[in-house]
A and B are shown apart, each in its own frame.
Chain A
Amino acid sequence: MSNVTALKRNTYLNAHLSCKINGEDVQVSVAPYKTLLEMLREDLRLTGTKHGCELGECGACAVLVDGEPVLSCLTLAVDAEGRTIETIEGLNDDAELHPLQAAFADLGGSQCGYCTPGILVTAKSLLQHNANPSRDEIREALSGNLCRCTGYAQIFEAVEEAVVRIGESGRRKMEVSR
């Protein structure tokens, strides 16, 4: 991964931080020079979050910090103190796939799957802000996430399909509650 050479690792002590990750309170001891990406992948073994460049160029490492998509490769781990973090592993809180996950799997929104975690969390954040985004709004929201396989079309279609499914399941829930 990173190619940091100037640091003298022995001159630092680990930082201890507390945060909420995927709904669970987590305490972690982490080297202060590490990025949030490295803490998630290496210290917490949440390897669902990927790295494609570690320079903030590709979007593969996106996670949600307090609900907003953030490039974890450009965020220091110590900045996670007190924050709420959501990764691909926590996209849905039960055993069912989140409608976004199901739609991506069904419609070919994920081919090699490497950019997928970053795209899914970014799309989730989009839908939290805008329950019914237009195609252009989806393009805009995902414009920082590169994908080399799909040519993006199936990704757009999957987000739109997820919107439909979320709407349907919402209506079903309302009917049941009546």
Chain B
Amino acid sequence: MSKPKKLSVIGKPRRRVDGASKVTGQTQFADDIVLPRMLHCKLLRSHLPHANIKSLDVSRAERHPGVKLVLSGKDFSNEYGILPVSQDEWPLCKDKVRFVGDPVAAVIAIDEITAAEALDLIEVEYEPLMTIADAVEGLNNPDSRLHEYSEEGNVHKRLSYEFGDVEAALAESDHVFEDTFFYEGNTHMPMEQHAAIGHVEADGRITLWSSTQCPHYVHRAIAKALEIPTAMIRVIATPNGGGFGGKTDPFNHEMVVVKAAILLGRPVKVALTREEVFYCHRGRHPVLMKFRTGVTNDGKLTGMHLQTLLDGGAYGSYGVASTFYTCVLQPTTYKLPRYAFDACRVFTNKPPCGPKRGHGTVQPRFGQEVQLDKIAEKLKMDPAAFRLNIVEQAGALTANYLKIGSMGLVECINKVVERSDWKNKYGKLPKGKGIGIACSAYLTGAGNSIYWNAMPHSGVQLKLDRSGKVTVFCGATEIGQGSDDVLVGIVAEVLGLDPILIRCVTGDTDLTPVDLGSYSSRVTLMMGNAAIQAAERARDLIAEAVAKRLEVPIELLVFADNRVFIAEDPEKGLDFHKAVVCAEEMHGTLGTTGSYAPPEPPGKYRGGGVGPSPAYSYTAAVVELDIDEQTGWINVERVYIAHDVGKALNPILTRGQVQGGVYMGLGEALMEEQTFRRLPARLSNALVHQTPSILEYKTLTSHDMPEVIIDLIEDPDENGPFGAKEAGQGPLTPIIPALANAVYDAVGVRIDEVPITAEKILKALDQKARGGEGRVGPDKFPDIEWPEPFQVPPPWEGGDGDAVNKPQRKRAAKMHEMDKFKKVASS
């Protein structure tokens, strides 16, 4: 116990603990659950993007044979939302619809087809309102206001921060680069459509099964929206058939089935159609951005001013956090002495945007990394060498007070340069072929909870008994990423067990201690540390009993190979099973707990809570491609990626996350876009989703996926369990700018707008042939009236992490119901 033993589970490639159940069809997803007397729910969704509800008549629907209940906005008395400052969603719209797909009524019937028939019988009279189609329209039309609580007009939230005098830094720079970029929105498209079942036991207790990434937040939202004490509610997160951030919000359909189950005393299921999933969305925000970056002749960054404009869609969702994330991680990759950012989120009449894999950071990383490519070219430096020259250091505190831990970016860059034969290819490939590089960083869990509290972010409980089996409980949610495997693997390692001897129970608010959920790449680190603590406490209880039984000093005992034994004399020891019996005799019933909360962030300024993380992962990628100049078609030949994961707990899963991130990154770079169009005037002129189907929302198929050469860099972080950092989100990010940079290397045109399509390449080539600059991208960033910035001097300019001024802020928060919620929660 004193000496670190050789790892026997951690770091070894092995079949994930839920692998067999997934390949046999045994895994029960939400829609696979069938309960006796279960009813079915369908939602009537608005066909108009922005309208007042003048009247709503459900009487014909109620009379339809087989219909048990029809609900509408008047049946609900409280709003909810994921962020405490954005409590702006109704389970069913009350007096206004804000996008095509906003639900206004629900029918609960004996089967789905009956419910669907009855939807047609609901009569809604709408008063159409002017539609806001994008962020600029939102800025220009403040009077057609989606929400009264926004800062002003349709401006949901504006941010402004200065970490040092950036203007002075730019003025003294040898070069200042100014570039604008646009990143189109796109969506998660998990293969599983959301489903949920509400159920009320005879004694009045409520259960919700749902394909949610965050059962704890859903638990809170139900309590608030339906005014039910939290102690009466149980939320069970079924394994998600993919999430990618799309199942992290509490959803209206979840509130509706719980309400219906309460009123009817029968289980009620809702299973969304694929089209409805496109309306739930919460995906990538469309972001317009402007970078002004100063550099010296020898290629050092002097300062950066970033401005972002987010098209938020119709509701708050995670939007305030997303807005911060379009700016806060910029200083984590390269040394940046001064930094300033302004960010603005605007409400529009479209499905709400929120967190998708890489939450808010993917868009500005695209802009930053493409701009660096332009800078390197101007300075006549190799883009890889240019980056290596400015990489931030391990342990650094950034200009905006983010504390970096381990930092393997140099090794990542060197690895992809070597693997790709970069030096012999960059700038040297025949015309039409190109290679590009980019880097990124990502959080391993957010340093703060969604709602402020002083409790653990993750809790783990362990039960051991005379059966020799260990059961581990945690509120974390298996969404495909392998969180159950991480949990079992860590407990198995600490207790020296074969993983098959450990059963895990996860994502159940009745049975498991709270874990905040599967978002922000937090599970491996936070749950993992809590699991280590719980397992070590169990190990200590067992060791005490075994030491007494064997009459040896406790320090000599080792837990390995399903045994507890003396390191020097392995014959002397007990089977784990007998060791647990021993411990149960000594201590009574055995159980332990573990908790994890992230370290206190160094930034003390207001808003400094978004960005801090216990550890940052780093990635570098090289994309190699060729382009048909006749058609503009891009053929990605190969992707080289190196990801600093700290420590790969199960390398098969880690590689799977990296590969999956590359896949999704290529989809975003090349084809995925959640876009909208106006119907012709004779058909209402409504703003509708361009492609709410899998057929038309293009993603990569097996044919499109190129070879990916993956290297895992293991630079352990002291905050990570066994040194581990995240792998689920970071590896997506560098793919998009690396591809854009490769396009430039291939054909000499800049596509400063994602997705990078054949059409845009042809347009740029054509423009270049006519003597133009050969660029497709936004020309300007709109004039936005920014608030007075918070001025926070960076650490090396005498800053203490706090702002030196106290700018006034308009309050843009919809939280008037929170007091009510607090009463409910504590009752």
B22, B117, B242, B243: residue with the most chain A Cβ atoms closer than 10 Å: B22
Q: Is the CB of B65 within 8 A of A10?
A: yes
Of A51, A112, A138, the contact of B242 (CB 8 Å cutoff): A112
The interface residues of chain B lying within 8 Å CB-to-CB of A33 are 113
- Is B480 close to A, CB under 8 A? yes
**A-binding segment of B26-34, B228-236, B409-417, B537-545:** B26-34
Within 8 A of B (CB), among A1-44: 1-5, 7-10, 33, 41
**B-binding segment of A75-83, A99-107, A164-172:** A99-107
Q: Is the CB of B23 within 8 A of A116?
A: yes
- Is B430 close to A, CB under 8 A? no
Q: Is the CB of B24 within 8 A of A114?
A: no
Q: Is the CB of A101 within 8 A of B23?
A: yes
CB B259 to nearest CB in A, in angstroms, measures 22
Q: Which residue of A lies closest to B658 (CB)?
A: A151
Q: Is the CB of A148 within 8 A of B25?
A: no
Q: Mind listing 14 A-B residue pairs with CB under 8 Å?
A: A4-B113, A50-B192, A55-B274, A57-B695, A58-B694, A105-B23, A111-B242, A111-B481, A113-B21, A113-B22, A113-B480, A114-B480, A144-B701, A151-B660
- Is A125 close to B, CB under 8 A? no
The interface residues of chain B lying within 8 Å CB-to-CB of A4 are 113, 116
Q: Name the prevailing secondary structure of the A interface residues.
A: loop
Residues of chain B having any CB pair with chain A under 8 Å: 15-16, 18-29, 31-32, 34, 42, 65, 112-114, 116-117, 119-120, 188-193, 239-244, 271, 273-275, 479-482, 652-653, 655-656, 659-664, 693-695, 699-703, 705, 707-708
Residues of chain A having any CB pair with chain B under 8 Å: 1-5, 7-10, 33, 41, 45-55, 57-58, 60, 87-89, 91, 97, 100-102, 104-117, 120, 138-140, 142-156
- Known A3-B116, A57-B693, A88-B25; contact A152-B699, beta-carbon cutoff 8 A: no
Cα of A100 to Cα of B189 in the assembled complex, Å: 26
Q: Is the CB of B702 within 8 A of A142?
A: yes
Q: Is the CB of B705 within 8 A of A152?
A: yes
B20, B479, B707: residue with the most chain A Cβ atoms closer than 10 Å: B20
Cα of A126 to Cα of B337 in the assembled complex, Å: 58
Of B16, B193, B664, B703, the contact of A139 (CB 8 Å cutoff): B703
Cα of A39 to Cα of B661 in the assembled complex, Å: 36
- Known A2-B273, A5-B116, A47-B28; contact A111-B480, beta-carbon cutoff 8 A: yes
Cα of A53 to Cα of B163 in the assembled complex, Å: 48
CB B347 to nearest CB in A, in angstroms, measures 28
The interface residues of chain A lying within 8 Å CB-to-CB of B242 are 111-112, 114, 148-149
Of A49, A101, A146, the contact of B191 (CB 8 Å cutoff): A146
Q: Is the CB of B656 within 8 A of A150?
A: yes
Q: Is the CB of B20 within 8 A of A97?
A: yes
B27, B188, B271: residue with the most chain A Cβ atoms closer than 10 Å: B27
Q: Is the CB of A117 within 8 A of B193?
A: no
The interface residues of chain B lying within 8 Å CB-to-CB of A108 are 16, 652-653, 655-656
- Known A146-B699, A146-B701; contact A106-B32, beta-carbon cutoff 8 A: no
The interface residues of chain B lying within 8 Å CB-to-CB of A154 are 652, 655-656, 659
The interface residues of chain B lying within 8 Å CB-to-CB of A146 are 191, 694, 699, 701
Q: Is the CB of B113 within 8 A of A112?
A: no
The interface residues of chain B lying within 8 Å CB-to-CB of A45 are 34
CB B731 to nearest CB in A, in angstroms, measures 10
Q: Is the CB of B112 within 8 A of A1?
A: yes
Q: Is the CB of B20 within 8 A of A55?
A: no
- Known A112-B190, A152-B663; contact A5-B117, beta-carbon cutoff 8 A: yes
- Known A4-B116, A57-B695, A151-B659; contact A89-B29, beta-carbon cutoff 8 A: no
Q: Shortest 5 CB-CB distances between A and B: which pairs? A: A48-B25, A112-B480, A114-B241, A113-B22, A151-B663
Q: Is the CB of A147 within 8 A of B694?
A: no
Q: Is the CB of B703 within 8 A of A140?
A: yes
Q: Which residue of A lies closest to B118 (CB)?
A: A5
Q: Is the CB of B120 within 8 A of A5?
A: yes
Q: Is the CB of B192 within 8 A of A48?
A: no
Contacts A2-B112, A9-B114, A151-B664 known; list 18 others, CB within 8 Å: A1-B31, A1-B112, A1-B271, A2-B113, A3-B116, A5-B120, A8-B117, A46-B25, A52-B192, A101-B23, A108-B653, A113-B22, A139-B703, A143-B703, A148-B242, A148-B664, A153-B705, A153-B707
Cα of A45 to Cα of B33 in the assembled complex, Å: 10
- Known A4-B113, A112-B479; contact A87-B239, beta-carbon cutoff 8 A: no
- Known A10-B65, A105-B15, A111-B656; contact A47-B693, beta-carbon cutoff 8 A: no
The interface residues of chain B lying within 8 Å CB-to-CB of A87 are 25
CB B282 to nearest CB in A, in angstroms, measures 15
Q: Is the CB of A110 within 8 A of B23?
A: yes
CB B351 to nearest CB in A, in angstroms, measures 18
Q: Is the CB of B660 within 8 A of A7?
A: no
The interface residues of chain B lying within 8 Å CB-to-CB of A110 are 19, 22-23
Cα of A145 to Cα of B464 in the assembled complex, Å: 42
Cα of A13 to Cα of B192 in the assembled complex, Å: 32
Of A47, A57, A153, the contact of B32 (CB 8 Å cutoff): A47
Q: Is the CB of A54 within 8 A of B24?
A: no
Q: Which residue of B lies closest to A7 (CB)?
A: B113
The interface residues of chain B lying within 8 Å CB-to-CB of A97 are 20, 23-24
Cα of A107 to Cα of B21 in the assembled complex, Å: 14
Q: Is the CB of B703 within 8 A of A48?
A: no
The interface residues of chain B lying within 8 Å CB-to-CB of A149 are 191, 242, 480, 656, 660
Q: Which residue of B lies closest to A151 (CB)?
A: B663
The interface residues of chain A lying within 8 Å CB-to-CB of B481 are 111
CB A80 to nearest CB in B, in angstroms, measures 18
Cα of A86 to Cα of B660 in the assembled complex, Å: 29
- Known A111-B480, A117-B25; contact A50-B663, beta-carbon cutoff 8 A: no
Q: Is the CB of B23 within 8 A of A50?
A: no
Cα of A46 to Cα of B26 in the assembled complex, Å: 10
Of B23, B273, B660, the contact of A54 (CB 8 Å cutoff): B273
Of A1, A113, A120, the contact of B273 (CB 8 Å cutoff): A1
- Known A113-B480, A114-B242; contact A52-B274, beta-carbon cutoff 8 A: yes
Q: Is the CB of A101 within 8 A of B656?
A: no
B19, B119, B663: residue with the most chain A Cβ atoms closer than 10 Å: B19
A3, A9, A151, A152: residue with the most chain B Cβ atoms closer than 10 Å: A151
Q: Which residue of B lies closest to A109 (CB)?
A: B23
